[in-house]
Chain A
Amino acid sequence: MHYFWAFLVGGALCVIGQLLIDLTNLTPARILVLFVVSGVALSALGWYRPLAEFAGAGATVPLLGFGHLLAQGVVAAVERHGLLGALTGGFSAAAGGIAASLVCGVIASLAARSKDQS
């Protein structure tokens, strides 16, 4: 059943993005920023955690979940390190995804150069 909800919630969040693309003039970069910042805000309000527990990857894979990850990371870091955690929490939590993207970007740029030019 959790697969069904992951599909449904994940799909629904993408439809929100699609409506923003079709009905507004927001560029993809702005939509991504909007999703991540909204994710932080929804998580701060305590609304995103229930959704993440309910829908699993349906809530964590969309970029709203990335914002939720940042907000959770910052809360955990503040608990442990006080105010310093406000600075370290976000990057610590997001490190895996950002570093993976970075490494993949470098490898792809080296491997796929000729293909892209053809």
Chain B
Amino acid sequence: MNRKASPRSPLGKDCLWAFFVGGSICLLGEGLRTLYGRAGFVLTDAAALTSVTLVALSAVLTALGWYQKLASRAGAGTLVPITGFANAVVSPAIEYRVEGLVTGVGAKMFVIAGPVIVWGMMASVVWGVVYYFLRPMMGG
């Protein structure tokens, strides 16, 4: 497994795994988006439905324990897509179920995804305020 002769290979191998698995998840997303588009949904709804579908798929794979197995190889390939966000929510929800529905599932579910929402939302609010004051200057 670990060949000392090629010290560069772990990074290259990690990146290849991340590229192909992450790319495949995005490819699946593009397929879903096209399908929902053909089904008559407008672009934004098709994109939202794609996210919801990928989240649900990730939740099923996480509950079966398969997503974690893939993640141990794919690294960022399974972390960076929205399926990784869903995995970060579902995984602690299952893990902390033994601590109860409120203090376990409810409190621990967003232990990893929570910071993402907090800082993503803060960034969006800052941008919203900036945009509000910038807009008149942009001739909008």
CB within 8 Å of B: which residues of A? 2-3, 6-23, 28-29, 31-33, 35-37, 39-41, 43-44, 56-58, 60-63, 65-67, 69-71, 73-75, 77-78, 82-83, 85-87, 89-91, 94, 96-98, 100-102, 104-113, 115-117
Q: Which chain B residues numbered 81 to 99 have a C-beta less than 8 Å away from chain A?
A: 81-86, 88-90, 93-98
- List 8 tightest A-B contacts by C-beta distance, closest first: A10-B26, A14-B22, A86-B128, A11-B23, A17-B76, A57-B29, A104-B59, A90-B124
Closest to B49 in A: A96
Task: Tell me the bound Cα distance from A7 to B33 in angstroms.
Answer: 14
User: Is the pair B116, A108 in contact by a Cβ cutoff of 8 Å?
Assistant: no
Partner of B63, one of A66, A75, A115: A115
Q: How many residues in B have their beta carbons less than 8 Å from beta carbons of A? A: 78
Question: Which of chain A's residues have a CB closer than 8 A to the CB of B105?
Answer: 105-106, 109
Q: What is the predominant secondary structure among interface residues of chain A facing chain B?
A: helix
* Contact assessment for A105 and B59 in the assembled complex, using a CB-CB cutoff below 8 Å: yes
Residues in B neighbouring A110, C-beta threshold 8 A: 97
Q: List 25 A-B contacts (CB under 8 A).
A: A14-B80, A16-B80, A18-B17, A18-B76, A22-B75, A29-B88, A44-B130, A57-B27, A61-B81, A63-B85, A67-B123, A74-B131, A86-B132, A94-B121, A96-B51, A96-B52, A97-B55, A101-B59, A102-B89, A104-B56, A104-B59, A104-B89, A104-B90, A111-B63, A116-B95
Task: Say whether B80 contacts A17, CB under 8 Å.
Answer: yes
